[in-house]
Structure 1
Amino acid sequence: PALSDEPADSGWEGFRGYVHEAATAHFDNDFRGHKAYLCGPPLMIDACITALMQGRLFERDIYMEKFFSAADVQQVRSPLFKKI
């Protein structure tokens, strides 16, 4: 696990930073022979893909699902969402 915005005094003992940085550090920037399954916001996915490919993981071994919000794709809200 990696926490990107954890306060310094929180007691968290795991990796502090972005998930692609954590993966790069954990695998010593060598992803050959692995498969990656990614899901999350587009900017995070893009950062992970960049790191994975720099670590010699090919596109065929990267599976992803980008999570978009209406704001991300500039769509009008669904009428199913009640206005508050």
Structure 2
Amino acid sequence: MSQTMIIRLLKTSIVLGLCLIVTGHTLLVSNYFTVEHGIKGIIIAAACIAVGVLLSLPTKIYLTVLLMEAEKRYLKNHKSTHSK
């Protein structure tokens, strides 16, 4: 799998994770959902938030590492061209 495809997959994972976090929060805040479903509704909303966090955090770390490596390469190339 190419690096571009991996980055696209990770960005999709971040967006999906954030959507699940917002959905879980909305379910917890909405009075109708918690009253209608009781403790099971709270568990469903908490599960949405947990899965959203699991999807979004590791991908952010991986993308940060990729950006740091790209910055190192850029600075290395930038210094070598200015020193000539």
- Which structure dedicates a bigger proportion of its chain to helix? 2
| TM-score, normalising length: structure 2 | 0.28
Q: Which has the higher contact order (CA 8 A, sep 6+)?
A: 2
| TM-score, normalising length: structure 1 | 0.28
In terms of Rg, which structure is larger?
2
